[in-house]
Structure 1
């Protein structure tokens, strides 16, 4: 049986040659150095070859999976070559790529991806043979998007086209990726438009004071203060349940399902986010606790929502935003802005030695190897220092 190391080491010779794996699967090494996986099989008494993709885009493990899929088609009475040939147009290739990635995407992202292709690519190029599409045709489609003033969308579509053709190349359906170099001919995307956020600690304190004076429901005011103290995303606070809180350990476990993660990670408890609770955050929670007088429809089992809405469900998505507008902070600060306030003010106050801890407290995944290794070690104690420091800044 072949190994990836053997496939990688296989060099070009004056004539093409095969490196056999198992069950009719082999790697064809051409004089040009191209290495293609091929599966030999019989269909209605005739010997045929099915190309499964090129190495290294398709590694040994993936080639064997594709071999297994081909054998399943044969057992079902279908010719594998004909089934693969059905993915011949750009639209069919794009939809095959979409289906392959769908399990890892959130519903919102999946809808955005498919919508952009159905709106901007498939109407003009969808019926073209995928292997015949050229860079110029893709660039014309991209420039149509740019002409609408949507350069950010254009870059997203270009990235998706690159991934579609890379998928097709790995699957042995196309030979080239005409989308690879489109970026050099495109307009630069505009700078990101950040959420309005206060970056002065005095302004943050004044906003919280203004909220305390508002006539809003106490659950909304308390949720706003807790959001400010923890720096988490609004959805995590709105959906927060008492079962996630360990008051004795001063710790809140935000389920991965409430985090901004891929669909695959949302169902994995390893990606739960641990939030150390400062004394000020604990004060808010004790004030909301059913045992301390705050009664609501879920108080019987103490597993209900921490910040319930009027009807017993979660507080409204716009309740805290409307609170800030009434307080006079329209276009100056939004609920999500607390994350920017938290990061900006604390990085300036605590210095570069605490940057990783501040990011970890916000639930940001490190992009570098050092950051990734650091975050895996959790470092709850240092996060506690960050949270207490932020609490003291807001209180003073």
Structure 2
């Protein structure tokens, strides 16, 4: 017997769920809690299936019958109404949930959990914010190559060719993540690779001859500006030639000054693997002196403005500017090029040992392990030699 609104309103719960049929596969299921849920039983491809239409009275009897009729119409066309409903739900989710901003936020969180450095995540978020201004609230499947190009052109129009290139790459990363998580089918940035103005390749400015490097060392050791952290960091950059971020963000717990070893954690290295560096005696002396001044802070190189933050790379570069070295002559990152050039020029050291000390990684894992183990003794001797070469430029013996 078909149901009626009067009958539906008078249905009472029992100890177990029970069904009341309206015919044509449509029924209401009464739960022990008293809820009345519309369901439709049907067969598709030889299998018994169920459709859920919602709860009565939110879904009225008349509306439930309309939904039954729509489902039967789909079945008549050979379409599974359950699969059809899921597809519609997914399409709606793509409009309301799967926006570029939401997927980008997921990607950034994924990278954070994978241990990407904070500075890397900050740069990526900066780029994503530019993309967000153009199409962040739109469904990712509705964003076209033309939409992305319009955003890239705005960056390019300001002469920021490198930023435009990186922005295209970052937007593409979001699309590829969406494809991997079944929320997009293609990456529109693929076809934009030749559309942007190619930025000029520029290398980090560095002094790579001994005479010029000697002038730089003397200026650093004579420098009396800045904080103790800044002065010590500049000297240690010259001695250890690490990447600026590896040194600036160092924590005291990473240093074993008794053994003369510094272990840089994987999260802070460019290659995302732990890098152990031998410390020459002069570096150990400098660190002990600095620790007596900043040792109460967990950071080895705290900012003088905000003690819970490290000094910035701009602080180091500004100090070099004050010494008279402009940005086209030498930067804090340039110490790596200086050391690489002069160590190789000396002819005293195996090129692979130099690469291992710089923290560079070959493509072969066996070669990578060989670098770390076999060249350690040579790297220790090399760092001592490099320290002695630096001290030749400063008379008397340079104390921290």
Q: Find the aligned partners of 1:185 and 1:135 in 2 and give their Cα distance.
A: 11
Q: Which residue of 2 aligns with 1:339?
A: 336
Distance (Å, rounded) in 2 between the aligned partners of 1:171 and 1:309: 41
From 52, 64, 82, give the equivalent of 1:48: 82
The question of whether the paired residues in 2 share the 8 Å contact of 1:307 and 1:315 is answered with: yes
- Distance across 2 between alignment mates of 1:114 and 1:356: 36
Q: 1:179: which partner in 2?
A: 189
* 2:356 paired residue number: 360
| Distance (Å, rounded) in 1 between the aligned partners of 2:369 and 2:345 | 24
What is the deviation of 1:255? 3.6
1:386 aligns with 2:394: no
Q: Which residue of 1 aligns with 2:346?
A: 349
Change (3 A) 1:212 1:95: same
Q: Give the one of 236, 241, 244 matched to 1:231.
A: 241
| Alpha-carbon shift at residue 276 of structure 1 (Å) | 0.4
Q: 1:103 — aligned with what?
A: 110
Change (3 A) 1:359 1:41: farther
Deviation (angstroms), 1:104: 1.5
- Give the 3 Å change call, closer, same or farther, for CA 80–230 of structure 1 in structure 2: farther
Task: Provide, for residues 263-316 of structure 1, a one-character-per-residue CA deviation record: whole Å limited to 9, x for no partner.
Answer: xx6xxxxx4321101233234345x177xxxx43647xxx86656776894885
The superposition leaves residues 45-99 of structure 1 with CA deviations (integer Å, 9 ceiling, x where unpaired) of 887349xxxxxxxxxxxxxxxxxxxxxxxxxxx9797257413489704531431
Q: Is the 1:357–1:382 Cα contact (8 Å) retained in structure 2?
A: yes
Q: Measured at CA, do residues 134 and 321 of structure 1 come closer, stay the same or move farther in structure 2, by a change above 3 Å? A: closer
* Structure 1 residue 375: Cα displacement: 5.0
1:73 corresponding residue in structure 2 = none
- Per the alignment, residue 276 of structure 1 pairs with 278
With structure 2 as the length reference, what TM-score do the two structures score?
Answer: 0.62
DSSP 3-state at the match of 1:249 = coil
* Partner Cα separation in structure 1 for residue 96 and residue 377 of structure 2: 55
Residue pairs, 1:196-235, within 5 angstroms = 196-216=205-225, 220-235=230-245
Residue in 2 aligned with 1:32?
A: none
CA distance in 2, matches of 1:124, 1:153: 18
Q: Secondary structure at the match of 1:335?
A: coil
Over aligned residue pairs, what C-alpha RMSD do you find? Answer: 4.1
Q: CA deviation digits over 1:148-205, x for unaligned, max 9? A: 322222222222333333333333333333322221333222213x443211122222
Q: Deviations over 1:18-44 (max 9, x none)?
A: xxxxxxxxxxxxxxxxxxxxxx99552
Instruction: Give distance in 2, aligned partners of 1:320 and 1:111.
Output: 20
Looking at structure 2, the residues matched to 115 and 326 of structure 1 have their Cα atoms a distance apart, in angstroms, of 29
Q: 1:213 and 1:358 mapped to 2: Cα distance?
A: 28
Q: Distance in 2 between the 1:119 and 1:307 partners? A: 32
Displacement after TM superposition at 1:229 (Å): 0.7
Deviation at 1:122, TM superposition (A): 5.1
2:156 corresponds to which of 134, 146, 150: 146
> 1:87 is matched with which residue?
94
Which deviations, in whole Å up to 9, do the C-alpha atoms of 1:118-139 show, x marking residues without a partner?
4346535853x54454434444
1:304, 1:98 → 2: CA distance? 30
Match of 1:159 in 2: 169
Look up the match of 1:188: 198
Greater relative CO, 1 or 2 (CA 8 Å, sep 6+):
1
Residue 384 of structure 1 and its aligned partner are, at CA, apart by: 1.8
Moved more, 161-170 or 215-224: 215-224
CA contact (8 A) 2:135 2:147 kept: no
The unaligned stretches of length 5 or more in structure 2 are 1-47, 54-79, 393-400
Larger Rg: 2
- CA distance 1:387–1:136, shift in 2 (3 Å): same
Q: What's the counterpart of residue 37 of structure 2?
A: none
* Count of matched residue pairs: 311
Distance 2:111 2:50 in 1: 36
The residue that corresponds to 1:254 in the other structure is 264
Cα pair distance change 1:156/1:327, threshold 3 Å: closer
Residue in 2 aligned with 1:245?
255
| 1:12 corresponds to | none
Paired with 2:278 and 2:380, the residues of 1 have a C-alpha distance of 5
